[in-house]
Structure 1
Amino acid sequence: MDDQTCSVQDSSDMSISSDDDGIEHQKKSSLELEEDQSATQADVLLEDPELGMTFDTENDVREYYKNYAKAKGFGVTRRSSNRDENGELRYLTICCSRHGKTESNSRNILKPKPTAGLGCKAKVNIVRGPEGKFHISTVILDHNHTLSPHKSRLFRCNKRLDYSVKRRLELNDRAGIRVNKNFNSLVVAADGHENLTFGEKECRNYLEKTRRLKLGSGDAEAVRNYFMKMQSDNPNFFSVMDLDDESRLRNVFWADARSRAVYDSFDDVITFDTTYLVNKYDMPFACFVGVNHHGQSVLLGCALLSNEDTPTFVWLFEAWLACMSNRQPKAIVTDQAKAIQNAVEKVFPDARYRWCLWHIMKKLPEKLGGYDEYEYIKTAIGKAVYDSLTIKDFEDSWMGMLERYNIADNEWLKGLYENRHRWVPAFVKDAFWAGMSTTQRSESMHAFFDGYVNAKTTLKHFTIQYENALRDKVEKEILADFNSFNSTIPRITHFDIEKQFQSVYTNSKFKEFQEELTNIMYCDRNFIQKEGAVETYKIVEDVLIDKEEGWRKDYVYHVYFNVEEFEVKCSCRHFEFRGIICTHVLCVLTHKKIKQVPSQYILDRWRKNVKRKHNFIRCTYGGMEDTPVAKRFDKLCNFFFPLAETGSMSEESCNDLIEQLRNLKIKPSGNSSSENSNEHLGTEEGGAPSIGETSKTILSPIAVRCAGRPPSLRK
């Protein structure tokens, strides 16, 4: 040991005197020293294989030679074997992993794939003797390549995942943690990659195998079996699968029991959107989204579609309508797609239908960017759309814009004007839309799922990740319910009206009311006239357009107040559109010292004390079940954690605990091996549940091209 130390010191001295050459020599010498030390330790721990060495079992032979190879620095693989009619091993050849040929099997000779083969002859032959023991009959120790004990952990034969790692990978995957972060947590816990017996690739392979075992091999069959399992847990789970003539999956729709119950409370307005490609089949993820009492997005069902034509949307809307007990929504917002419009008009004839305003306005550069006066045209269109309080105001502004810039012959603008009742705020603000003017609710739901699924997500895995995302969404609603129940937002004024809304509205909606109340300070109120019981007020609001530039603009509104019937309306129609009393109405009510507003101005959908059916229904039914092995493993871990915590307090207690555990001499039960072979973490023998299976196999969908995000954004 002293000689080795001196050798290292001499190398260090050389590095100082000879600069770069010395440094390189020092690194090389240190590496060789470590290799020699490892080889010395290997010689002590494991003797070289010799002719006649005897082993009791086949597994003993494999473990011995694998450990010997790991210590020496090479990988091993089984080359050949033979078994008798009873399945008993006759002979076995275990050789160096670099025994194969050096030629690449790549079809393109200009792009050969790497190969490990070097024709190495190192091997051992094992034969079974008459007494049942195994003997080494042939030994070749010489290799034709360099050995490296430090790289042994990277050989395939030395990579393994123990039970605790598998369990942790599955739980993290179930929680929606991506594989790279899942693996990194294991690296940190092990204090470095060198202390792990596996890599990220092994983790990915294991999780993919687990998902496949949980749901079956075929995507379409797996989804069907998954839906059957969900429905067996709760009969209110709803799913429909659309197949073509070849029994290939085209479209699938499902909604859990809680989503169906949510629609009972919030069926007044929904949005529908299909612009998000979610899996490897490029099937758009279409979702129905509503708004709950906190103003949060709630999922009312979703689908994966293989096409975006009118028949497909008709099929989907009819499936969703059947799921919701044939109760049509009062209002629906979609994008401008003609296929969706045709389907809505056919399936939801009684619903108030409008287009997403954002999708229309974002097309201005594409449709009108070629005009020399595009910037002025865009400003004029924005003013006509957003600043027009009445239909007449819009008509005048629009016609003036067409005439001023001579663009009346533009076909796109003609189509917009013909359908102005579907998208212009002045035409649609007379109905309740819960404040939605775009499909941003659907898009926010897509953003929510972004943390759980991606373009490589398989169809069978998507259904599980859908559950994880939905569970998280429901927890956010429960937390908002608790905050509204457990806390109160203080009032900012002494008006009795504020106290009234504070006591009944959820915290988020009361905040919106407070914002309207606060804006009274920017309003100038003038009494105009009184005709019978109706009083008319002119409200001039000073609105800040651009905070950075300080741009301000005065907007004029008119408030009509029927004193006898206590009916109040504003030309901005904020209450009709959002369900929250506007600043202009509050300006009049506070001036008249009104203490309480009638119940028609306090919507039940914003109340915090209303009992809603979906609050008593759990959001998910599958995905959390575990095998008996996993349950017992978790039970033992929970029992050992307090012991480990106590033992880690000092070195003495740690050593005592380890010694006590060693003295237990726990032996595996006789049936543990067979049980482990049949039971898999997170799945039962046989893969997916087979409730109600039919003999006809459902084929997975074909990857298709469809409308949605441009290719650059899909990536």
Structure 2
Amino acid sequence: MDKGKGKEFIIDLNDEDFDYQYDSIVKTESDEEAILVSDKIFNDLTVEDVWNMEFSLVEEAEEFYNLFAKVTGFSVRKDDVKRDKNQNIVSHKAQLNAMRGVGMGTSQIMDYMVQQSGGYNNVGFTKKDLYNHVDADRRVHLRDGDAEGALAYLCGKSEMDPSFYYKYNVNEDNHLANLFWANSTSKLDYGCFGDVLAFDTTYRTNAYKKPLMRVLALILGSWRLFLDAMNNKKPLSVITDGDKAMRKAIKRIFPDSCHRLCAWHIQRNAFTNVHVKDFTNHFSKCMFMEGTVEEFECAWNDMLEMFNLHGHKWVTDIYAKRSRWVEAYLRGHFFATMKNTQRCESMNAYLNRFLKTHLKLFEFVKHFDRALSRIRHNEAKAKFETHHSSAVLTTKLYALEKYAGIVFTRQSFLKFRDEMKNAELFFPVSTENHGGYRVHTLTKFRSPDKIWKVCYGNSDRSMKCTCMMFESVGFPCPHMIVVMKIEHLEEIPETCIMKR
């Protein structure tokens, strides 16, 4: 071995005394005695000594690090010791463990190695490599070795990400029972966009047949831990597939949140439980009708009379839950255009490319992390395209459309442009002035019996429409766009843009 900084520290692996001491360590029956013997050699060994070691033979490096491992407790395989690109005999893995053995933390090790090497490119491995390696060394003492690996991986993630959150609990047998984790980006996303949660519980996603509960933009394993991780912010609305345990939990944990049942599941159940021709079509019309609660009730009773379904058990049961699936009852509650858990289903399909039922927990966590990283990459790409490209303008309302292309994300802009085209079907029939505001009454081409009223504030240009689309989905309805034309607005009022 060659010198350390500031002084000479030389160990001759061919020295008879050194061989004798090494043999003593190998042959001794007492671990304490072995440590005492090796301390004679390594008592003055510093971080600089470890980092600057050079060997003439791979076998010498392997022998030295194995000897040092007797003191510090790490293990060395022959594959850990090899030549670098400059043909020097080095072992980054062995060096790393040795530096940990003299009391350095992960961040200290990385900083020191970068400093000594003049940058990451010269260290021989990246920061990610370092943390991946450290993960395997940070074990939680559970009997389930697979759980240990998963927890070590998450522990390593928390060292790279100061805001990374993970917690778990164990059962009476000291085995992992529940696990929850969320990275800083997921937490930040929820803080900005966590108004609606869509849940889909899917089983058989790993070898233990444990459910993975997916939440848009984050992972959820426990309600209480979820609130703890998200600074106790509760969502405005929740969409589920109708699971009874989920419904009870939402009522208890999120009592003020509006709970909606997935429209797709409701329609499927209608088809499965009521075997009457054309019933499903009429049922769907009642579900999505744009009218008032009173209009829904009338349409519902007409449907019961038409198909003679008074007293039908499923129809009676689903009617009792109408406040959670009928559009007339849910209008005005913000759901970000979602009426079902379809986004969860599409997420399932995406994750199936990464997750298989045979995966162990440690593999499962890593593969899920890969999938999440890919999603983040796609989000960054979409953000780049929004900020560094111009939207294609296709309507006659050039100024308004151009402004929408600036203030909205590209995906939201396309939705808004569709509503601009829908606005061509509506036209005003009257305007009433009420001091500080005006009320515009609109009707629709070929539907003269239907009217919508838009209240427009003169001072702040605020708008409120009786259709309540803005409150429900988050961007202006076609009736508001008609009023923007009437009022000669070239920019979308700030009150009509959600701060998200």
Bucket of the pairwise TM-score, normalised by the shorter protein: 0.5 to 0.7
| CA-to-aligned-CA distance 1:614-656 (integer Å, 9 cap, x gap) | xxxxxxxxxxxxxxxxxxxxxxxxxxxxxxxxxxxxxxxxxxx
- Please, which moves more after superposition, 483-492 or 412-421? 412-421
The answer for the alignment partner of 1:384 in structure 2 is: 286
C-alpha distance in structure 1 between counterparts of 2:176 and 2:314, whole Å: 37
Secondary structure at the residue paired with 1:362?
helix
The answer for the alignment partner of 1:51 in structure 2 is: none
- Are the equivalent residues in 2 in contact too, given 1:557–1:571 (CA < 8 A)? no
Q: Name the TM-score, length of structure 1 as normaliser.
A: 0.48
Distance 1:398 1:488, change over 3 A: same
Offset of 1:439 from its aligned partner? 1.4
Amino acid corresponding to residue 300 of structure 1 in structure 2: L
- Please, which moves more after superposition, 244-253 or 460-469? 244-253
C-alpha distance in structure 2 between counterparts of 1:387 and 1:441, whole Å: 23
- Are the equivalent residues in 1 in contact too, given 2:136–2:149 (CA < 8 A)? no
Secondary structure at the residue paired with 2:491?
coil
- Are the equivalent residues in 2 in contact too, given 1:489–1:507 (CA < 8 A)? yes
Amino acid corresponding to residue 326 of structure 1 in structure 2: N
Offset of 1:498 from its aligned partner? 1.9
Secondary structure at the residue paired with 1:408?
coil
Secondary structure at the residue paired with 1:432?
coil
C-alpha distance in structure 2 between counterparts of 1:258 and 1:562, whole Å: 38
Query: Which residues in structure 2 correspond to 1:4-15 (within 5 Å)?
Result: none
The answer for the alignment partner of 1:562 in structure 2 is: 456
Structure number with higher relative contact order (C-alpha < 8 Å, ≥ 6 residues apart): 1
- Are the equivalent residues in 1 in contact too, given 2:288–2:327 (CA < 8 A)? yes
The answer for the alignment partner of 1:584 in structure 2 is: 479
- Are the equivalent residues in 2 in contact too, given 1:541–1:556 (CA < 8 A)? no
The answer for the alignment partner of 1:300 in structure 2 is: 218
Distance 1:263 1:245, change over 3 A: same
Secondary structure at the residue paired with 1:240?
strand
The answer for the alignment partner of 2:388 in structure 1 is: 486
C-alpha distance in structure 1 between counterparts of 2:414 and 2:200, whole Å: 29
- Are the equivalent residues in 1 in contact too, given 2:190–2:218 (CA < 8 A)? yes
- Are the equivalent residues in 1 in contact too, given 2:474–2:498 (CA < 8 A)? yes
Q: CA RMSD in A?
A: 2.7
Of 421, 428, 450, the residue aligned with 1:518 is 421
Distance 1:346 1:597, change over 3 A: same
Of 252, 256, 265, the residue aligned with 1:346 is 252
Amino acid corresponding to residue 477 of structure 1 in structure 2: E
C-alpha distance in structure 1 between counterparts of 2:212 and 2:230, whole Å: 19
Q: Does 1:530 align with 2:432?
A: yes
Q: Does 1:600 align with 2:472?
A: no
Of 452, 469, 472, the residue aligned with 1:574 is 469
Secondary structure at the residue paired with 1:525?
strand
C-alpha distance in structure 2 between counterparts of 1:510 and 1:213, whole Å: 46
- Are the equivalent residues in 1 in contact too, given 2:273–2:314 (CA < 8 A)? yes
The answer for the alignment partner of 1:508 in structure 2 is: 411
Amino acid corresponding to residue 251 of structure 2 in structure 1: E
Distance 1:385 1:563, change over 3 A: same
The answer for the alignment partner of 2:314 in structure 1 is: 412
Structure 1 stretches of 4+ with a deviation exceeding 4 A read: 212-217
The answer for the alignment partner of 2:174 in structure 1 is: 247
| CA-to-aligned-CA distance 1:71-130 (integer Å, 9 cap, x gap) | xxxxxxxxxxxxxxx99xxxxxxxxxxxxxxxxxxxxxxxxxxxxxxxxxxxxxxxxxxx
The answer for the alignment partner of 2:146 in structure 1 is: 219
Offset of 1:390 from its aligned partner? 1.5
Secondary structure at the residue paired with 1:375?
coil
User: What is the count of residue pairs matched by the alignment?
Assistant: 362
Query: Which residues in structure 2 correspond to 1:327-342 (within 5 Å)?
Result: 327-342=233-248
- Are the equivalent residues in 2 in contact too, given 1:559–1:568 (CA < 8 A)? no
Secondary structure at the residue paired with 1:436?
coil
Amino acid corresponding to residue 581 of structure 1 in structure 2: P
The answer for the alignment partner of 1:690 in structure 2 is: none
Offset of 1:250 from its aligned partner? 2.5
Secondary structure at the residue paired with 1:251?
strand
Which ranges of structure 2 fall in alignment gaps of 5 or more residues? 1-25, 28-81, 83-132
C-alpha distance in structure 1 between counterparts of 2:150 and 2:458, whole Å: 61
Offset of 1:224 from its aligned partner? 2.1
Secondary structure at the residue paired with 1:600?
helix
| CA-to-aligned-CA distance 1:163-207 (integer Å, 9 cap, x gap) | 9xxxxxxxxxxxxxxxxxxxxxxxxxxxxxxxxxxxxxxxxxxxx
The answer for the alignment partner of 2:212 in structure 1 is: 285
Secondary structure at the residue paired with 1:560?
strand
C-alpha distance in structure 2 between counterparts of 1:410 and 1:436, whole Å: 29
| CA-to-aligned-CA distance 1:636-694 (integer Å, 9 cap, x gap) | xxxxxxxxxxxxxxxxxxxxxxxxxxxxxxxxxxxxxxxxxxxxxxxxxxxxxxxxxxx
- Are the equivalent residues in 1 in contact too, given 2:201–2:212 (CA < 8 A)? yes
Amino acid corresponding to residue 338 of structure 2 in structure 1: M
- Are the equivalent residues in 2 in contact too, given 1:272–1:442 (CA < 8 A)? yes
Q: Does 1:428 align with 2:355?
A: no
Offset of 1:567 from its aligned partner? 3.9
The answer for the alignment partner of 1:111 in structure 2 is: none
C-alpha distance in structure 2 between counterparts of 1:273 and 1:508, whole Å: 24
Offset of 1:598 from its aligned partner? 2.3
The answer for the alignment partner of 1:540 in structure 2 is: 444
- Are the equivalent residues in 1 in contact too, given 2:289–2:327 (CA < 8 A)? no
The answer for the alignment partner of 1:232 in structure 2 is: 159
- Are the equivalent residues in 2 in contact too, given 1:288–1:300 (CA < 8 A)? yes
C-alpha distance in structure 1 between counterparts of 2:290 and 2:417, whole Å: 26
Give identity over the alignment, percent: 27
The answer for the alignment partner of 1:98 in structure 2 is: none
Amino acid corresponding to residue 219 of structure 2 in structure 1: G
| CA-to-aligned-CA distance 1:526-583 (integer Å, 9 cap, x gap) | 41453634434232157xxxxxxxxxx9994413233535443334322222112122
Secondary structure at the residue paired with 2:277?
helix
Which ranges of structure 1 fall in alignment gaps of 5 or more residues? 1-85, 88-162, 164-209, 290-298, 304-315, 543-552, 606-715
Distance 1:368 1:338, change over 3 A: same
